C-alpha cells in the first residue's frame, strides 16, 4: 500500500526540520547525512557542470551552496577542484544555527553563514548557486520561491541535486539509511524524503514555473536527479 502511494507526492514533515530537535540528535543526524552523501556521490552530481564552467571562464569560480547542512557537499566540491587544478571560492548557508555551528567546526576556506533562503534574498556575486537534498522539504510554492531566489543570485548556473520519487528509490534509501546510520532521525527522514520528493518531470515543471526557462533535468545514480539551468 505504501509503495503504491508513491505515485503521488506525500509531503512528510521531517524530524530534522523541527526547531525543537535536540542539538545532539541534530548533529548525529547531520553526520549520518554526510555519510549518505559520500556514499551516493552527492558532490559528484554537481561537479561536472562546475568543472565545465571553470574551463570556459578560465578564472576562479564563485559557488554558493544553499541549505548546506554540515557543509560536507561544498567541502567535497572543493577537494575535487583542488585535485583538478580548478580555482573555486565557496560559501554556504543554512537556516539552522546548529548546522552552521557544526559546519564551522572543521577549519577551511569555506565561509558558512546562517540564512533563510525562502524569505530573504540570497547574496549576489556568485557564478554558481547549488542546493542538495533540500527541494523535497518544500511545498510547491516554497520550491518555486527557492528557485527564483537561486536564479537571482547566480550569474551563470543554478544546480539542484535532489532525490527522485519512485518505489525503487524508496526501498534503496530505506536500506541505505539503516546500513549507513544509527541515527533515528536519519532512519525516519530518509524514506520520508523520498515520499516527499518530486519526480524529475515535476522538478522540471517547477523550474518552468519559476522562470528558469530552458532548464534540464537528468537522472543521476543512485536515486537522484540534477536540475540545471544556465543563464544565456
**CATH number at 4-230:** 3.40.50.150
- Cα 232 from Cα 229, distance rounded (Å): 9
Per-residue pLDDT tens digits for 153-190: 999 999 999 999 999 999 999 999 999 999 999 999 99
**Contact criterion met (CB below 8 Å) for 227 and 216:** yes
Q: Is 34 exposed, middle or buried (0-12, 13-18, 19+ CB in 10 A)?
A: buried
Q: Dump pLDDT digits (tens) for 119-134.
A: 999 999 999 999 999 9
Residues with Cβ within 8 Å of 186's Cβ and at least 6 positions away in sequence, in order, are 29, 32, 33, 36, 177
Q: How far apart are CA 81 and CA 55, in angstroms?
A: 12
Tell me the HSE value of 18 on the side-chain side, using a 13 A CA sphere: 14
Q: Per residue in 54-105, pLDDT tens?
A: 999 999 999 999 999 999 999 999 999 999 999 999 999 999 999 999 999 9
Q: Would you kindly state where each structural domain of the chain is located, as residue ranges?
A: 4-230
For 21, the grid coordinates are 530537535
Amino acid at each position: 500500500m505504501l509503495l503504491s502511494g508513491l505515485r503521488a507526492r506525500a509531503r512528510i514533515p521531517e524530524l530534522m526540520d523541527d526547531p525543537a530537535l535536540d542539538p545532539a540528535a541534530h548533529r548525529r543526524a547531520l553526520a549520518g547525512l554526510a555519510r549518505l552523501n559520500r556514499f551516493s556521490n552527492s558532490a559528484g552530481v554537481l561537479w561536472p557542470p562546475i568543472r565545465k564552467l571553470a574551463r570556459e571562464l578560465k578564472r576562479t569560480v564563485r559557488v554558493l551552496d544553499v541549505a548546506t547542512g554540515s557543509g560536507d557537499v561544498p567541502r567535497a566540491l572543493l577537494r575535487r577542484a583542488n585535485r583538478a587544478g580548478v580555482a573555486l571560492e565557496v560559501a554556504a548557508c543554512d537556516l539552522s544555527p546548529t548546522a552552521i555551528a557544526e559546519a564551522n567546526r572543521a577549519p577551511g576556506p569555506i565561509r558558512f553563514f546562517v540564512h533563510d533562503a525562502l524569505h530573504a534574498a540570497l547574496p549576489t556575486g556568485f557564478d554558481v548557486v547549488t542546493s542538495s537534498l533540500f527541494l523535497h522539504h518544500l511545498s510547491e510554492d516554497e520550491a518555486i520561491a527557492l528557485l527564483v531566489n537561486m536564479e537571482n543570485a547566480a550569474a551563470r548556473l543554478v544546480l539542484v541535486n535532489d532525490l527522485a520519487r519512485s518505489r525503487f528509490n524508496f526501498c534503496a534509501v530505506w536500506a541505505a539509511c539503516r546500513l549507513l546510520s544509527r541515527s533515528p532521525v536519519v532512519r525516519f527522514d530518509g524514506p520520508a524524503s523520498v515520499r516527499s520528493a518530486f519526480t524529475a518531470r515535476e522538478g522540471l515543471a517547477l523550474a518552468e514555473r519559476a522562470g528558469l526557462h530552458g532548464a534540464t533535468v537528468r537522472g543521476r545514480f543512485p536515486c537522484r536527479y540534477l536540475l540545471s539551468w544556465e543563464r544565456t
